[in-house]
Amino acid sequence: MYSITPVIYVWIGTSLPRWCKESLKFSSYNNPKRKFILISDSEKSRLDFAKDLINLEIISIRNGYNKSIIFQSKSLFKGKFWKFTSLRFEVLNNFLMGNNIKSFFHAEFDNLLFNFDGLEKKLDKVGNGFFVPRDNLDRGIGSFIYCNNKTCIEEILKKYLSTNNARNDMEALGLCLKEKNNFFSLPTESFHQNSENWNILNPVDCGGIFDAAAIGQYCLGIDPNNNRYKPTYNFFKNENLLIDFESEIITSNKKELYINYIANNERIKIYNLHVHSKNIKLAISFIRKGPLYYSFSSKKRKIIAHHHKIYFGSFIKLYDLIVLIIKRIIKRIIKTFLYEITKIYKIKN
């Protein structure tokens, strides 16, 4: 049993990302009284960085989820990424069932957490359930979550059954937010506008807002993997962003970020920064008022990742096209070969 509500991370299926140490170090340093738990099936040698973080506990698990309802789902988006982001809820559920943990926070590695002492007390006053940022009527974003009702995890898992057919973790959370009274929408930067479309907590009740994705994407761009043939710049505007960042101001005190709503004369704390671009070191420098912060404040767009794509983007695209054509030719040859072999076998028998 933990004296203060712990933060639980889950990483399974692939090696830990190289930037996870910086992320955990930053978040745990901002919350020194809180226990951080990492559940992972990565090799022990890859977890050696834990010795540098005195409030981090490692829970090693074996890969035994082949019979998971997540892996059995025929509706799930293809690719390991979508399987593992959904499977984390089953891993969380199994861990909670075997431990006396009544409430917990959960965060994704590409989120930098600022100090959130007392946040659980604020949310406990709201209700008993599952609290998640929501930036669309149909989806929740598991960037930074609070749960004080463990049965809610089972409700999420049910959304992957054939009766619901959730295609990914965001959709599963979205279904629960629409259907369950004990799933609460945490406010994002667009809470004024979103409150007209669904029930959303007031930042006053939470003591701040949460970054589902839009703030981090605007400050530090999107994942370079989603921007394959061009460099990644900041000032990216998420499709669910409903405020004008040209008018609102994001500021830092070198420890955490705030958003200033000029029209309403509001200054609101941001609890987390979702670094979608995965450039954690640059994000920490931004928070600490490094060079990017000042160019950002001056509205000067900067390259966040893959500067080389300015010069080689077209060649990369051509290379990918050639590789795709070769793969399709090889696939066609193999298919034709197998067809002829089967045909000959049938004739002989």
Instruction: Give the range with max mean pLDDT: 61-65, 71-75, 167-171.
Output: 167-171
Q: What is the pLDDT of residue 291?
A: 95
Q: Dump the DSSP string for 169-218.
A: HHHHHHHHHHH-TTEEEEP-TTHHHHTTTS----HHHHTSB--SSHHHHH
pLDDT category at 6 given cuts 50, 70, 90 is: very high
Q: What is the pLDDT of residue 173?
A: 96
Burial class of residue 302 (count of CB atoms within 10 Å of its CB; 0-12, 13-18, 19+): middle
pLDDT category at 63 given cuts 50, 70, 90 is: low
Q: Beta strands of 137-176 (E only): which ranges? A: 139-140, 144-147
Residue-wise pLDDT for 186-220, tens only, equals 999 999 999 999 999 999 999 999 999 999 999 99
Task: Please choose, from the candidates 16, 22, 18, the residue with its C-alpha nearest in 3D space to the C-alpha of residue 38.
Answer: 16
- Strand order, beta sheet including 266-269: 249-252, 257-261, 266-269
Cβ pair 167, 70 in contact under 8 A: no
Q: At residue 289, does pLDDT exceed 70?
A: yes
Instruction: Give the range with max mean pLDDT: 207-221, 292-306, 317-331, 335-349.
Output: 207-221
Q: What is the mean pLDDT of the chain?
A: 87
Q: What is the pLDDT of residue 46?
A: 57
Tell me which of 92-101, 116-125, 270-279 is least confident.
92-101
Instruction: Give the range with max mean pLDDT: 5-14, 63-72, 142-151, 242-251.
Output: 142-151
Q: What is the pLDDT of residue 316?
A: 55
Q: Where are the domains of the chain?
A: 7-206, 214-305, 315-349
- CATH number belonging to domain 7-206: 3.90.550.10
Tell me which of 244-253, 313-322, 333-342 is least confident.
313-322
Q: What is the pLDDT of residue 194?
A: 93
Cβ pair 109, 22 in contact under 8 A: no
Q: What is the pLDDT of residue 310?
A: 57
Tell me which of 1-15, 40-54, 228-242, 255-269 is least confident.
40-54
Residue-wise pLDDT for 87-107, tens only, equals 899 999 989 988 889 999 999
* CA–CA separation, 200 and 264 (whole Å): 18
